[in-house]
Structure 1
Amino acid sequence: MMLNSWISNLTLLILLIINNSISAQIQGSVRDFDNRPLSFANVILINQSDSSVVSGLMATDEGFYSITSFKPGKYIIEVSMLGYKKGYSTPFEIRSSKDHHHNKPILLGEMPHEIDGVKVVAEKPIYELKIDRMVVNVESSISSSGITALEVLEKSPGVIVDRQNEELSLAGKSGVMVMINGKRSRMPIAAAVQMLDAMNADNVERIELITTPPAKYDAEGDAGIINIVLKKSEDLGTNGSFTLGAGVAHRERMNASLDINHHVDKVNYFGSYNANFQNRRTEINSYRKLMVDGSELETYTDMNWEAIRTYHNIRMGFDYTISSKTILSMLGSGYVRDWDDDGVNAIQYYTDQNLTNESDLNQKKVGKWIHGMGNINLQHHFSEEVILDVNIDYLNYYHDDPADYTLENLGLNNVVESTEEFRVTKETPIDILVGAVDFSTSVNEKLSLEAGFKETMTWFSNDVSLTYFDNAMWTVDEELTNMFNMKEDISAVYLSAKFNPNKKTSLSAGLRYEYMNTTLDSETEKGIIDMHYGELFPTFYASHRFNDDNTIQFSYSRRISRPTFNQLAPFIAFVTPDTYVSGNEDLLPAFSDNLKVDYRYKSWILSYSYTETKDAITRFQPKQSEDETKQYFVSRNLDQVKTQNVMLGFPVNVNSWWKMRYNFTWVHNRTITDYEDTKIDYKQGSYMFNGTQNFIISKKISSEISGFYTSKSNWGVYTAKARGRVDIGVQMKLKNENSQLSINLTDAFKTNVFGSETEIPDLNIHARWRLDFEPRVLRIKFTHKFGNQAVKARKRKTASDEEQRRVTAE
């Protein structure tokens, strides 16, 4: 009844807005001659008859503007920006209060400056420091052509990609939320890593590293947000692009994509499709030692995986301009991910350094992830500065992940003496309903406000079964077979304010309140999880620009990291017959306090951050069974984690055809926890370096060398070993300027191999891992753009943008 009432009231609100939204509007965009948006350009509406100024505003960070304060008449638009020549629209006429006028993009040329015969031209910096984020402009990176978005992210300052555990960390912290175009994907990091690994990097315009997100965003994620902004286009007409790519490592890889936009009058249609095929080979080596009754028991494993992965992603929808102030949008998206994995794990057992047994564990996995999402969005401008945004989302996920295992016990000369068969099934449907209302207004030129509320309802089930083939029949393991059902409701409200006391100082503060109800039951036990709590999450930002070359910023935020659904719901996956990966229903949410200071001098950026996290959630941590015969790898809470981070980034321009950019990051982690009744206090310092060198060979040919190096670092109770990578890329524009050919070699020296180890003698834990994901790939890619390259696909958020992280696609 409450849900029906809530939807009815929201529908009534939408209808009232539609019926009261009739007035004129002038829209358009500001771009440079390379078709890149010019952020925050000055836009002035001028009366054509007497050249008087009618209205003025500043373009958005995407270069988009929308003017509503004017009367019918003949006008022209003037645009200006520091470092660029002024630009003007063609004259146009507004005949009535219902006219909706679209201007073609206004292009600004760069303003050259002559200094002792040297021509200096303004250009977009690789790294931009804003009040709450660092922006990495990656679309011009040649070595990123043809690779995946995950590989681009891997080269970003302060970001570490851990493919071993399918984790991301930002500024030395692992509680990262991944967003696409400001839309949260509602999946855990493991799933987001896989999604980004299938996404073509040529669609990425920039990466935003938001370490202290504003109150408008969910408080989820103690490390902050990594926002992947995809390329867009704008204005009337039709445009699109298609890409064909192929690569080879040990085996072949192929990808293709199609993007299209069609914008006519009041309707903008858009759609995209991406297909990715990967024939992979993975090598995993592990070691485990146990001390039992004075004897040393060791297990060595060598696993070889043959994996065929296919990814299909689709997104389509339309934006309809009801009136000059109201836009109604519908969006549908989804993906299908299939995998067919075959692996053989050769296992050797030693007792006091003497070989006692050998076996082969054959694994077969044929699984699928299916996802669909529908969104309805209504955005209404009461005026230029007063905006109401309403979203309703429904999401469905279905995960089917069966695995068949055959254990062959070997005798002398590798002869099979006996076999054992067992099977694990896991079926997981998830349904999510999200509604959100956001309101923003400007009180005056110095003060603006934002407020909103959000409701998220999730229904989740997990059907897990383990069976053994014994005495010519399949026998169910009752201990590890069960049906789990979870229900979660999260209600949130927020209020934030931005205040600019003068042109050089900006202040922002916000407060968000979230209340959560979570229950997890099984067919055999009720109340496995029964959590009900409410928390406040404050944020504060301050920025002061001393002059054009010097800016300092300060920020504080409180965050939460909730366990993902699959981390909570019990499941099991075999590494060896006595080594498992499993869920943990005892996980608690983690809370963190974050402080950050940034200083920019010209193009140099220096940042320092400090974070304290309580009950930090860390994946794949070792745990022994009571009889110490089995080892589990589970997500678990660590009592307290303190993280310090220092980052320095700067450019080096050798000459007009050779430019470099370097970033150095230092991280210090301290982990204090009671681990299986043993006090642990780990301290670990680490550093990361990444750099890019760009070479302009000719007007149509350019190249790039980029790479990174990460020293050893800690991950819970594990120590991750040092690793690095070098990428080389060459790009050539064809005779047709809309076509481009690129060749790229990733991990040229094959040094990006993952390794980790842990030694806790008091807990009888001794383990190490080595994973080789065959990262070296030679790729060739052809891209062609067609149509009017200025067609705009409207950027907006959906209600579930910040929810999808907690659904896994492992």
Structure 2
Amino acid sequence: MKSFIISILCLFIAAGAFGQVTGRIADTTGKPVPFATIALKRSADSAIIRSAAVTDTGTFHINSVQPGKYILLVTAAGYQAYRSAIFDVGRGLQANLGRLIMKQTGRQLREVVIRAYKPQVQQTAEGVTVNVQNSIMTQGSSILDVLQRSPGVILDQHNNTISLNGKTGVMVMIDGRLMRMSMDQLITLLGGMSADNIDKIELMNTPPAKYDAEGNAGIINIVTKKNKKRGTNGSITLTGGYGMYEKASAGFNVNHNTSKVNLYGAYSYWHSHDYGGLYATGSENAEIVGGQADFSYTGISKPISNFNDGTVGADIKLDTGTTIGGSVNYWGGGNTNNPHNYGYYLFANAPSLTYNSLFNSSAHLGNAITNFYLEKDLAGKQKIRADFDYLYYNARSQSGSQSSFTDDRGNAAGSADSLYSPMQRSFGNTLIKVLIGKLDYSAQVNKKIKLEAGAKATYSRTAARSAIEDLENGIWVPNTVGAANNFVTYESINAGYFSFNMQLDSATSLVAGARYEYSHNYTDKSADTNFRVDRKLSRLFPSVFFSRKLNDHSSWEASYTERITRPSYSELASYVSYNDPVSVFTGNPLLKPTITRNLKFGYNYHDYLFSLLFSRDDHPILGIQGTTGPVKGVVYLRPENADWQNSITLQATIPVKINDWWDMNYTITGGLRQYKISFTPQPFEKIFVAGSFNFSENFKLKHGISAELSGYYNSPSYSANWRSYSNTILNFGLKKEIGKGNLKLSVTDVFRSGRYQSDVGLLTTDAFNTRVHVIYNTESRLGTIVKLTYYRPFGSTGIKNREKRDSGSGDERSRL
């Protein structure tokens, strides 16, 4: 890794030794000639060194030019070719050729096709956009795989968390619809969805007022491809692969688009046989079975997942200013798993104990989303849109176990009615229904001011039932942790927003707005009256975005936003599920929402992107923490609130183009973080520096072959009483054009480094005197994952005539 970083630094130093060529292309009247093609040739042999496209203002800029003598050739449809005189480019200097005049030919072409390639990472006022289809690794991957390779996104597969720029309070959207489910359920969903039809990923750490204020870390919006071609067209994708076990996926999409009606549909199937290995060693106070103990624990899991994802929809133009449409999306399937858990506990003043358990578990998940919308253009450059959405999520799981928990003489631990019955079973059912209505209005007040306003109402009902039972004397009875829970929660969120987009001058713009939200969350039944919830929250969330263009190549921006993270429905639910003989998973109905304030500065120079974000979180929600509960000595694993968290985050995206066939892209994200914890016996504060590094090397070879080398590095970091170790992943992809289609080979985790390590109990002493070292090995740690994908488009081509749609359920689905 050290030599790899040194190589990258050398490339940066070498890039600084190159020169630049700039200028402006105009016609004989002085008007710019947009989209002309620039070719930089070496004067000695006329070899083409660089090429570029002129912007819509007629300017061009060519980077990474080695010192020497060159000639510039400019071509454009309808103009005579321009050839410059020989000029010099000095080391580290800029050769400004000034205004170059092109003469018109007087001839017209029937059709001009312009092909452009988007940068892999683009900066926006809200954050950054990753154009994932630029990567060979995308097709054949799951959405979760693609997210894990995105800059600033860290996936912790052991704790099932997704963080953005070091913060875990992130909301995930698909086409503007929030995925309202727990993080465990969300990771299962994204891991079972193919990324073949993903266009881009928007990483928004400071979303504007038109988005829901949910998510203290921001919003990850996964945008699917929108077919804009006239006629009937689509594509098919087939993938097969192997790691330790088999992988397969298949999908197609079809679109029929006329001037009045657009019909579309897509289907994908995903099969994955995976592996996970958990290894833990350490000590804790297992008072319920003997006191302080040294232990070792192993858990091996080999889940098999099968999921289906389908979408059908239509857009209909009733007249030139009115469009109606609707869509139905269903994702569903299930997984089976037969994990084997083994543990050994050594006590100072009690017999040693051995735990051995074989599980059989299954889960069935279903998620349906329906949307209907009406969009109408009004007089005076006004537009109104109404959306009505219904979201349905159903998860059913059950498991059984045959366990032994015995001392070194073969005697069973605990009593006959304890948590350690040789035969146990558990079930969990979650049903979530969400109804959303949304109305948006926009008006171009004048040339410099645009107004946007809207209202949104969300109503949801969540029913969660769960239980653990022991087999005693041939009868299934509730175990000592607690009886079956039947937890129902309701939530209503009413919101309104407005924003003004003002062009202060030709180079300066200001967007100022605010979003008001009133929410009411309450329960009607709980197994414990102490967990009754009746919470109301009313708050205004302001947002201000200021940007200024310095010249044709650079600009800067500043913004201030406020956001909220409400606990997910499952985090609040007082369910109980089995983990091991001394611990259970449960929810926490007493969780508080997180309030966040963000101040951000950004600077762009060509494709170089820099941003600095200051944020303050009050009561950030942490993942699973070991706490005490109703049964003395049992570890209750549940989410908790920290007191506060401060972050200073710097992000830099640096593209480097070596030549026409080799370009690179590097993103560095990191900074200073500080937080305070008070739910432990001894409150404490922690301050540390952490970050991540993403890179991609893209090679365009001959004969329709291209290659990609990509990967990421995550530094050590801290969360609550945990310390996570660093980890590094390197991937490789190869693509070959075959007729109208292509064949792609992807190799994930080339060096088998998919290991996550962490220490628990280093920062303070918890209620169980825990000090544990945890290792989690993913499948790629034991076997590099290799996949082969075939992709082929079909059908007609035509003009673009379908716009991206955003339904009213925008922010609900992430809290299911």
Normalising by structure 2, report the TM-score: 0.82
CA contact (8 A) 2:286 2:582 kept: no
CA distance in 2, matches of 1:234, 1:271: 14
Aligned to 1:475: 477
Q: Tell me the residue number matched to 2:56.
A: 81
2:122 pairs with 1:128 = yes
- Measure the CA separation in 2 of the matches of 1:639 and 1:110: 66
1:234, 1:789 within 8 Å by CA — same for their partners in 2? no
Give the letter aligned to residue 698 of structure 2. N
Out of 419, 433, 448, the position equivalent to 2:450 is 448
Partner in structure 2 of residue 518 of structure 1: 521
Partner amino acid, structure 2, of 1:81: D
- The residue that corresponds to 1:271 in the other structure is 265
Instruction: Name the counterpart of 1:179.
Output: 173
| Equivalent AA in structure 1 for residue 805 of structure 2 | R
Inter-CA distance 173–378: structure 2 relative to 1 (3 Å threshold): same
- Which of 400, 404, 420 lines up with 2:400 in the alignment? 404
Bigger shift: 415-424 or 376-385?
415-424
SS at match of 1:688: strand
**1:796 aligned to which of 778, 789, 805:** 805
Distance 1:768 1:792 in 2: 56
- In 2, Cα distance between equivalents of 1:244 and 1:653: 32
Offset from partner CA, 1:253-287 (integer Å, 9 cap, x none): 10011111111231111111111001112111123
Q: In the TM superposition, what is the alpha-carbon distance from 1:482 to its structure 2 partner?
A: 2.1
For 1:84 and 1:242, the matched residues in 2 are separated by: 40
Query: Matched residues, percent identical?
Result: 28
Deviates more, 1:418-427 or 1:571-580: 418-427
2: CA distance, partners of 1:355 / 1:179: 52
Distance of aligned partners of 1:114 and 1:415 in 2 relative to their CA distance in 1, 3 Å threshold = farther
SS at 2:185 equivalent: helix
Deviations 1:191-230 (A, max 9, x none): 3333322233332222211111111111000111111222
Choose which of 684, 689, 710 in structure 2 pairs with 1:685.
Answer: 689
For residues 121 and 204 of structure 2, the distance between their equivalents in structure 1, rounded to whole angstroms, comes to: 13
- Contact residue 710 and residue 723 of structure 1 kept, 8 A: yes
Aligned to 2:157: 163
Match of 1:386 in 2: 382
CA–CA distance in structure 2, aligned partners of residues 166 and 127 of structure 1: 26
Given the superposition, is the C-alpha separation of residues 147 and 403 from structure 1 closer, same or farther in structure 2, using an over 3 Å criterion?
same
The alignment partner of 1:402 has SS state of strand
The question of 1:196 aligning with 2:199 is answered no
Task: Confirm whether residue 312 of structure 1 aligns to residue 273 of structure 2.
Answer: no
**Structure 1 partner of 2:425:** 423
Does the aligned pair in 1 maintain the 2:421–2:472 contact within 8 Å?
no
In 1, Cα distance between the equivalents of 2:172 and 2:260? 32
Amino acid corresponding to residue 390 of structure 1 in structure 2: A
SS at match of 1:144: coil
User: 1:505/1:603 Cα in 2 relative to 1: closer, same or farther (>3 Å)?
Assistant: same
DSSP 3-state at the match of 2:425: strand
Alignment-derived partner of residue 775 in structure 2: 770
Q: 1:629 aligns with which of 619, 629, 633?
A: 633
Contact persistence 1:232–1:792 (CA under 8 A): no
The number of residue pairs the alignment matches comes to: 706
Aligned AA for 2:56? M
Retained in 2: the 8 A contact 1:334–1:370? yes
Q: Is the 8 A contact 2:526 2:574 kept in 1?
A: no
Q: What is the identity, as a one-letter code, of the residue corresponding to 2:498?
A: L
Q: In structure 2, how many angstroms separate the alpha carbons of the residues matched to 1:399 and 1:292? A: 33
Structure 1 Cα separation of the partners of residues 457 and 77 of structure 2:
43
Q: Which residue is equivalent to 2:670?
A: 666
Give 1:181 shift.
2.2
Q: Does 1:600 align with 2:604?
A: yes
Match of 1:569 in 2: 573
One-letter code aligned to 2:512:
A
CA distance in 2, matches of 1:84, 1:190: 49
Q: Work out whether residues 176 and 189 of structure 1, in 8 Å CA contact, stay in contact via their aligned partners in 2.
A: no
How far the C-alpha of 1:413 sits from its partner, in A, is 11
Alpha-carbon spacing, 1:383–1:461, altered in 2? closer, same or farther (3 Å): same
Aligned: 1:349 with 2:345 = yes
C-alpha separation in 2, matches of 1:361 and 1:109:
77
Does the 8 Å contact 1:485/1:522 carry over to 2?
yes
Counterpart of 1:430 in structure 2: which amino acid? I
1:653 alignment partner in structure 2: 657
Residue 245, structure 1, aligned to residue 239, structure 2: yes
- How far apart, in 1, do the equivalents of 2:431 and 2:230 lie? 41
Matched residue, 1:282: 276
Instruction: Give the corresponding residue for 1:755.
Output: 757
Q: C-alpha distance in 2, partners of 1:111/1:605?
A: 36
Match of 1:678, SS? coil
* 2: CA distance, partners of 1:200 / 1:272: 12
Q: How does 1:15-54 map to 2 (within 5 A)?
A: none
One-letter code aligned to 1:544: R
- Once residues 181 and 670 of structure 1 are traced to their aligned partners in structure 2, the CA distance between those partners, rounded to angstroms, is 33
What is the identity, as a one-letter code, of the residue corresponding to 1:619? Answer: G
Question: Structure 2 counterpart of 1:468, which letter?
Answer: D
Task: Name the CA shift for 1:83/1:629 in 2 (closer, same or farther; >3 Å).
Answer: farther
Shift of residue 772 of structure 1? Answer: 1.6
Gaps of 5+ in 2: 1-33, 35-53, 61-75, 90-96, 98-114, 414-419
Distance 1:346 1:602, change over 3 A: same
**Letter of the 1:132 counterpart:** E
Contact kept? 1:270, 1:793, Cα under 8 Å: no
**CA offset digits 1:99-124 (Å, max 9, x no partner):** xxxxxxxx999999978699x99753
Distance in structure 2 (CA, Å) of the matches to 1:452 and 1:347:
56
C-alpha distance in 2 between matches for 1:523 and 1:710: 41
Q: Deviations over 1:610-657 (max 9, x none)?
A: 111011001111214577632222111101011111112211222221
Partner of residue 22, structure 2: none
1:663 and 1:691 in contact (8 A); partners too = yes
Deviates more, 1:577-586 or 1:237-246: 577-586
- Compared CA separation, residues 114 and 271, structure 1 to 2 (3 A): farther
* Alpha-carbon RMSD: 2.9
CA separation of 1:237 and 1:664: change in aligned 2, threshold 3 A: same
- Cα deviation digits, residues 515-552 of structure 1 (max 9, x gap): 11111132655670001121110001011110122211
Residues 298 and 384 (structure 1 numbering): CA distance in 2 closer, same or farther, change over 3 Å?
Answer: farther
Q: Distance in 1 between matches of 2:634 and 2:271?
A: 37
Report deviation, 1:511: 0.8
The residue aligned with 1:372 is: 368
1:225-245 Cα distance to aligned partner (Å, 9 max, x none): 111222222132101111110
Deviates more, 1:500-509 or 1:571-580: 571-580
Kindly state the Cα deviation for residue 410 of structure 1 after the two structures are TM-superposed. 5.4
Match of residue 494, structure 1, among 478, 494, 497: 497
User: 1:360 and 2:369 equivalent?
Assistant: no
- Listed one character per residue, the Cα deviations across residues 384-427 of structure 1 (whole Å, up to 9, x for unaligned) are 83110101111221111112122124577999999611111111
Q: Is the 8 A contact 2:181 2:569 kept in 1?
A: no
* Normalised TM-score (structure 1): 0.82
Residues 675, 336 of structure 1: alpha-carbon distance in 2 compared, 3 angstrom cutoff? same
Equivalent residues of 2:487, 2:527 under 8 A apart: no
DSSP-derived class of the 1:150 partner:
helix
In 2 relative to 1, CA 165–450 (structure 1 residues): closer, same or farther, beyond 3 Å?
same
1:46-65 matches, within 5 Å, as: none
Offset, 1:794: 4.2
* 1:503 Cα offset (Å): 2.0
The partner residue of 1:233 within 208, 221, 227 is: 227
Q: Which moved more, 1:232-241 or 1:321-330?
A: 232-241
